[in-house]
Amino acid sequence: MKKYLLSLCFVALFLTAYSQKTEVIIKGGINLGQFRYPGKHSDFAISGETVTGYQAGIALDLDISNSVSVQPGLSFIRTGTKYRLGGYPNNYEDGTIKINYLQLPVNFLYHLPVSAHDIHFGGGPFIGYALSGIFKKTNRTYNPGSDVPVVTESDGDLKFGGDINENYKRLNYGIGFTAGITLKNSLMFNINYDIGLTNISNSSIKAHTNILGISVGYVFK
């Protein structure tokens, strides 16, 4: 799957050489991020909840026909998750993870003119590179015979790489979907949903990113 997505990115970038018209888009907005934790675990349970982040970036909209365009971009994205881990004997953990990504999406868009406005929708692959990240967690341990937990808190920087001693992998890839409208005054309103296909975790607990984003931009024609 990773090879297919990378090939699709290169094909899309190659098609930009045949662009009939080029527009530059600057945009920014907010994200609701959450990790998916697939798989079954016999001795514990883990669940993810949304955390608020943000996005800012630039994109090129390159027409390849009257109604179809290719839109490569480069964005700074902060995403992450809140999580709850429980089921270990007498031990529970709540935490928040935030990761900063530099993300390259390449979307194929269909444009539908309505009056003087432009409605667009489509999707495509993305590749993300983790720049940095932080964590904060609280552990509650119940000693035998006690209903009062021993609480410990910790926080710090996440480690990235491919080693088991590092928290998460640097690279993340997946599929994104997007829809929006560009008004006749060049203001653009957009919504996107990104599904990470990479298991970004280096531990035995698999983790994948989900991001719902809402952004506002301006189109330079």
Residue-wise pLDDT for 142-166, tens only, equals: 887 777 888 999 999 999 998 888 9
How far apart are alpha carbons 97 and 135 in whole angstroms? 5
pLDDT at 122: 97
| CATH code for the part of the protein at 2-79+98-129+167-220 | 2.40.160.20
- Do 198 and 207 contact (CB within 8 A), yes or no? no
Residue-wise pLDDT for 37-73, tens only, equals: 987 765 667 888 999 999 999 999 988 888 999 999 9
Q: Is the dihedral of CA 168, 212, 78, 72 positive or negative?
A: positive
Residues 6+ apart with CB under 8 A from 4: none
- Do 173 and 125 contact (CB within 8 A), yes or no? yes
How far apart are alpha carbons 74 and 109 in whole angstroms? 16
For the chain, domain boundaries: 2-79+98-129+167-220
pTM over 0.75: yes
